[in-house]
């Protein structure tokens, strides 16, 4: 075998603490190494051209590149060796940036360690074999989970690209949190005016099939060929007959049903249409408050319905869809702020969340756009806004910033002044985070043009002052003195958390999620919308905190990934997968039970049960190889012999 070794300087990233020339010199003494050099940047075009030239000139059979993380650059170098005529898996990488130069300053020690890592890679390469990918057909349909603004954008972009879309939304209408907003920052334009046309486009687009009031029940298969079971929850209304006329909602006697769309700031009827612009504009019965379903006595909605759409005996329905790709756009929920007992813990009706305040501001809200205190319906004069309630707070396990709270608080302060000209707004804040286009200018407008008083400091307590107001106690850290403000209404900028059920959905999709429940991207910088499961992409706040423009951009990015995937008639499977030696397999079933991707099944071979790897599903995680008590499963490109070769080399160093 003829091996070439390339030690990357990476500018000063590696060369600053590693003697790259010496590592290359040492590498020349390793078995089968016939060429070794230390280029400045191996990932740059000249560096890749040098690798290709060296392969041809030295008739190399394999290449070792010692540089930065394989996670970042391995696909690049594989393409490089492939262009030179080698099998892409006759490449090995030694990570001498993250594993060496970034963790120590002793140049001699770093140089020795880098040389050892190169030795391991060389020994591994000596035991490598060419691997060939297999091609398979792809179902050119996409499933999008979540009908908020990110999911809507992804759906429309895919549909416009000619890809049939299956859009699943767990609520009775698409629109997500954006549909609940009155205005959007920094332009203060109508949220419904922006979102409404997109919602209508979803309803009318011939390439989009919408399942509202539905949830993903199960996902099986692999990239290009997913089978998805969708549970259509019972609405007790036949949507094929419902015209959205509203006759049932007008006559329903159960008028004290909590209104979820209005964030419980008002009541609605047991049968309702979420809001006037709802898509689909169809009625849904709340079974917990419907007198017919709870007591068997009423049936008014069925009597007044002109089309006979009411079906009290309706049950959930399971439908199956075949898709080739999946986009998760499940959004977020607000955290339970009642853990803050110092803010009343939910006991004070005039302490509300920012999203509840949005519904009070909205013309489609319970008060018709007139700001009224929940306790007595009076117009508030002093409004206190409190930032970072449940954000950047390690004491409740929420150390992260929710991203957009500073901006919507400034917006709400501006809108408050527009609604109530003689009102006064106070904002308690930790610091102002306004990094977007026109964001800082917008915040300054709230202060300078609208007279909002910003107080840097935390609020320690809120309590009724006995005079019909709430006493808000805090501290001004800039002036170094305590502050007490008497407010008619307190609005909390409540932090966000992952959408309810996100971890369970992640397990169905076989993707990773972080300790807070947000879905994890494949690479934080280079693959922000991709996941560790091929064919599954992310869009919007399900991946992490972001505002509307960023969510829309990520929705389009996810759609671009789907369209790129479907641009090929056939897809290639990764040959770095598990393989079963049927001679050693005893059909214990441990590999089947431990596989997180469901990639192993039992088959009968010559009358005996054996494990078999589903090649297109296997992700090459290696969990089965470490679990098998018989050693009957080997991972291609990471066999026992290859690993032992590395261990032996390390012992000889």
pLDDT > 70: percent of the chain: 100
**Whole-angstrom Cα distance, residue 176 to residue 197?**
14
Alpha-carbon 406 to chain mean position: 22
CA-based end-to-end distance of the chain: 21
Residue 443: predicted pLDDT: 96
Residue 147: predicted pLDDT: 97
Alpha-carbon 34 to chain mean position: 47
C-alpha dihedral sign at 84, 89, 94, 98: positive
Tens-digit pLDDT profile for residues 112-164: 999 999 999 999 999 999 999 889 999 999 999 999 999 999 999 999 999 99
Residue 64: predicted pLDDT: 97
Strands (E), 169-245: 183-184, 189-190, 208-211, 214-222, 225-232
DSSP 518: P
**Whole-angstrom Cα distance, residue 196 to residue 18?**
58
Radius of gyration (C-alpha) of the chain in whole angstroms:
30
Residue 653: predicted pLDDT: 67
User: If residue 151 lies in a helix (H) or strand (E), which one and from where to where?
Assistant: helix 149-160
Q: What are phi and psi of 619, to 5 degrees?
A: -105, 0
Residue 617: predicted pLDDT: 84
Residue 216: pLDDT band (50, 70, 90) is very high
Q: Crossing angle of helices 70-83/45-58, nearest 10°?
A: 50
Q: What mean pLDDT is predicted for residues 618-636?
A: 92
Q: Crossing angle of helices 20-27/107-126, nearest 10°?
A: 40
- How many other C-beta atoms lie within 10 A of the C-beta of residue 85? 10
**Whole-angstrom Cα distance, residue 388 to residue 392?**
7
Residue 494: predicted pLDDT: 97
**Whole-angstrom Cα distance, residue 20 to residue 32?**
20
In the block, residue with structure tokens 């002109």: 306
- How many other C-beta atoms lie within 10 A of the C-beta of residue 257? 18
* Structure token digits, residue 621: 């995680």
Residue 619: pLDDT band (50, 70, 90) is confident
* Structure token digits, residue 89: 């898996």
Residues in the chain: 653
- How many other C-beta atoms lie within 10 A of the C-beta of residue 568? 12
Residue 204: pLDDT band (50, 70, 90) is very high
Per the CB < 8 A criterion, the answer to whether 617 and 221 are in contact is yes
Q: What mean pLDDT is predicted for residues 633-640?
A: 92
In the block, residue with structure tokens 């993707």: 511
Which residue, among 172, 153, 360, has the nearest Cα to 278 in the 3D structure?
172
Tens-digit pLDDT profile for residues 328-371: 999 999 999 999 999 999 999 999 999 999 999 999 899 999 99
Per the CB < 8 A criterion, the answer to whether 318 and 229 are in contact is yes
Residue 523: predicted pLDDT: 87
**Whole-angstrom Cα distance, residue 634 to residue 579?**
5
Per the CB < 8 A criterion, the answer to whether 554 and 528 are in contact is yes
Per the CB < 8 A criterion, the answer to whether 555 and 152 are in contact is yes
Has residue 476 got a pLDDT over 80?
Answer: yes
Tens-digit pLDDT profile for residues 479-530: 999 999 999 999 999 999 999 999 999 999 999 999 999 999 998 888 999 9
Measured CA distances, 336 to 299, 353, 373, 625 (Å): 36, 10, 21, 42
Per the CB < 8 A criterion, the answer to whether 564 and 549 are in contact is no
Per the CB < 8 A criterion, the answer to whether 27 and 122 are in contact is yes
In DSSP terms, 230 is beta-bridged to 216, 319
Residue 526: predicted pLDDT: 85
Tens-digit pLDDT profile for residues 260-312: 999 999 999 999 999 999 999 999 999 999 999 999 999 999 999 999 999 99
SS3 (DSSP) at 519: strand
Has residue 650 got a pLDDT over 90?
Answer: no
Per the CB < 8 A criterion, the answer to whether 94 and 121 are in contact is yes
Q: What does pLDDT average to over the chain?
A: 95
What domains appear along the chain, each with residue ranges and CATH number?
3-127 (3.40.50), 142-233+317-332+517-567 (3.50.50.60), 247-304 (no CATH), 336-494 (3.50.50.60), 578-636 (3.30.70.20)
Has residue 546 got a pLDDT over 80?
Answer: yes
Measured CA distances, 352 to 42, 357, 358, 375, 488 (Å): 57, 7, 10, 11, 11
Residue 573: predicted pLDDT: 85
* Structure token digits, residue 100: 């060496």
**Whole-angstrom Cα distance, residue 46 to residue 42?**
7
* Structure token digits, residue 153: 């954008």
Tens-digit pLDDT profile for residues 32-50: 999 999 999 999 999 999 9
Has residue 92 got a pLDDT over 70?
Answer: yes
Pairing, β 633-635 against β 578-580: antiparallel
3-state secondary structure 393-422: EHHHCECCCCCCHHHHHHHHHHHHHHHCCC
Alpha-carbon 302 to chain mean position: 41
pLDDT > 90: percent of the chain: 91
Per the CB < 8 A criterion, the answer to whether 545 and 517 are in contact is no
Has residue 450 got a pLDDT over 90?
Answer: yes
Residue 332: predicted pLDDT: 97
Q: What are phi and psi of 128, to 5 degrees?
A: -75, 155
Residue 543: pLDDT band (50, 70, 90) is very high
Per the CB < 8 A criterion, the answer to whether 210 and 174 are in contact is yes
C-alpha dihedral sign at 14, 16, 18, 22: positive
In the block, residue with structure tokens 């993380």: 69
**Whole-angstrom Cα distance, residue 329 to residue 582?**
42
Residue 598: predicted pLDDT: 85
């Amino acid at each position: 075998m003829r091996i070439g070794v390339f030690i990357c300087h990476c500018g000063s990233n590696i060369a600053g603490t590693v003697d790259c020339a010496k590592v290359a010199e040492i590498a020349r003494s390793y078995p089968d190494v016939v060429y070794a050099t230390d280029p400045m940047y191996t990932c740059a075009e000249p560096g890749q051209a040098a690798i290709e030239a060296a392969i041809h000139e030295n008739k190399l059979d394999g290449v070792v590149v010692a540089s930065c993380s394989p996670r970042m650059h391995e696909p690049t170098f594989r393409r490089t060796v492939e262009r030179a005529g080698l099998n892409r898996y006759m490449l090995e990488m030694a990570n001498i940036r993250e594993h060496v130069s970034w963790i120590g300053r002793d140049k001699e020690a770093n140089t020795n360690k880098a040389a050892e890592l190169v030795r391991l890679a060389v020994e591994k390469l000596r035991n490598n074999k060419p691997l060939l990918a297999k091609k398979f057909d792809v179902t050119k349909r996409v499933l999008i989970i979540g009908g908020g603004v990110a999911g809507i954008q992804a759906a429309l972009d895919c549909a416009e690209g000619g890809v049939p879309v299956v859009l699943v939304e767990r609520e009775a209408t698409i629109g997500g949190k954006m549909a609940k907003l009155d205005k959007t920052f920094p332009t203060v334009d109508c949220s419904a005016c922006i979102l409404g046309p997109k919602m209508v486009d979803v309803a009318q687009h011939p390439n989009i099939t919408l399942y509202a009031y539905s949830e993903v029940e199960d996902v099986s298969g692999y990239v290009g060929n997913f089978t998805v079971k969708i549970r259509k929850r019972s609405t007790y209304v036949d949507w094929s007959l419902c015209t959205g006329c509203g006759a049932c909602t007008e006559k329903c006697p159960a008028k004290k049903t909590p209104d979820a769309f209005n964030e419980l700031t008002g009541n609605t009827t047991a049968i309702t249409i979420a809001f006037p612009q709802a898509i689909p504009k169809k009625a849904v019965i709340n079974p917990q408050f419907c007198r017919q379903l709870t007591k068997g006595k009423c049936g008014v909605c069925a009597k007044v319905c002109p089309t006979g759409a009411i079906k009290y005996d309706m049950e959930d329905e399971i439908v199956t869809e075949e898709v080739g790709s999946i986009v998760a756009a499940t959004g977020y929920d607000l955290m339970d702020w009642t853990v803050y007992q110092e803010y009343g813990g939910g006991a004070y009706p005039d302490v509300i969340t920012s999203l509840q305040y949005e519904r009070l501001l909205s013309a489609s809200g319970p008060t018709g756009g007139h700001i009224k205190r929940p306790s007595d319906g009076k117009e508030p004069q002093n409004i206190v806004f409190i930032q970072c309630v449940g954000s950047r707070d390690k004491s409740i396990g929420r150390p992260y910033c929710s991203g957009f709270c500073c901006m919507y608080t400034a917006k709400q302060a501006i809108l408050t002044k527009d609604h109530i000209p003689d009102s006064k707004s106070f904002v308690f804040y930790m610091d102002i985070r306004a990094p977007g286009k026109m964001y800082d200018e917008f915040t300054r407008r709230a202060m300078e043009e609208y007279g909002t008083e910003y107080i840097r400091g935390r609020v320690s307590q809120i309590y009724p002052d006995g005079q019909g107001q709430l006493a808000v106690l805090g501290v001004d850290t800039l002036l170094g003195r305590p502050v007490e403000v008497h407010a008619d209404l307190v609005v909390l900028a409540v932090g966000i958390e992952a959408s309810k059920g996100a971890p369970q959905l992640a397990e169905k999709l076989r993707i990773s999620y972080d300790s807070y429940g947000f879905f994890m991207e494949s690479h934080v910088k280079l693959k922000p919308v991709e996941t560790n499961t091929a064919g599954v992409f992310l869009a919007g706040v399900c991946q992490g905190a972001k505002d509307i423009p960023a969510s829309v951009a990520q929705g389009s990015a996810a759609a671009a990934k789907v369209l790129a995937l479907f641009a090929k008639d056939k897809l290639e499977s990764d040959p770095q997968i598990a393989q079963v030696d049927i001679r050693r397999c005893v059909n214990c079933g441990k590999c089947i039970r431990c596989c997180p991707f469901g990639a192993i099944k039992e088959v009968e071979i010559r009358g005996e049960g054996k494990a078999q790897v589903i090649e297109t599903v296997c992700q090459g995680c290696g969990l089965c190889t470490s679990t098998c008590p018989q050693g009957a499963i080997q991972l291609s490109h990471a066999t026992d012999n290859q690993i032992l070769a590395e261990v032996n080399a390390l012992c000889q160093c």
